[in-house]
Amino acid sequence: MLSAGKSSFWRNANPAGAVADFREVWRQSGKRRWPFVAAALATTLCVFSVIAGESWRGPPAKPTIVYINSWPADRSDEEIRRSNIENQKIKEALAAAQAKRDAKVKEIYRQLGRVSGMDVDKIERDAAIEATAEKAAHRRAIGLAPAETATKPDGQHSETSPVAQP
């Protein structure tokens, strides 16, 4: 351990001897010492430039949490039920409005298809059959029984030709 006073290590260290030793090694190294000095300086500069470019930041500060209460904490169960019913009605009204918009867009695409010369009814039937087949395949893949199967004209059931729902 280093103490405030002189220790035995510092008493025995002599910088004059170190400088004399360096001078002797420098003389003995010959004329080819300059490329080695340049390589050592370049390596040192590269290492220190990488170290200087590093960014050392601590972990980010923890966020402060702000709780926002949009209703009183002492609500009764009846108030909660009423609020849930109101929210459900709003949700259903929004879903119905969205369904109307979707139906209107679908009708516009049907008209566009008819004007373009497409058989829109056949396309919808094919899409419904394909969707039903995909659902049945998915149910079989996960190990469930098919939800609905088609009836052939001879009265037999078949899983490969699902019934199209209009």
Task: List pLDDT tens digits, range 92-137.
Answer: 999 999 999 999 999 999 999 999 999 999 999 999 999 999 999 9
* pLDDT band for position 73 (cuts 50, 70, 90): confident
Say if 55 falls within a structural domain. no
Would 127 be classed as within a structural domain? yes
Domain range for 154 = 93-158
Q: Is residue 106 part of a domain?
A: yes
**Which has the higher per-residue pLDDT, 27 or 90?**
90
Q: How many Cα atoms occupy the beta-carbon half-sphere of 55 within 13 Å?
A: 2
| Domain tally, the chain | 1
What mean pLDDT do residues 61-84 have? 88
How many Cα atoms occupy the beta-carbon half-sphere of 95 within 13 Å?
6
Mean pLDDT of 39-45: 95
Instruction: Write down the pLDDT at residue 41.
Output: 95
d(CA 103, CA 107): 6
Domain-located, residue 137: yes
In a domain? residue 143: yes
Q: How confident is the model at residue 68 (pLDDT cuts 50, 70, 90)?
A: confident
Residue 52 has what pLDDT?
86
Question: Is residue 82, in this structure, part of any structural domain at all?
Answer: no
Residue 45 counted as domain residue = no
Q: Considering the domain boundaries, does residue 28 fall inside one?
A: no
Q: Please give the Cα distance from 33 to 26 (Å, whole number).
A: 8
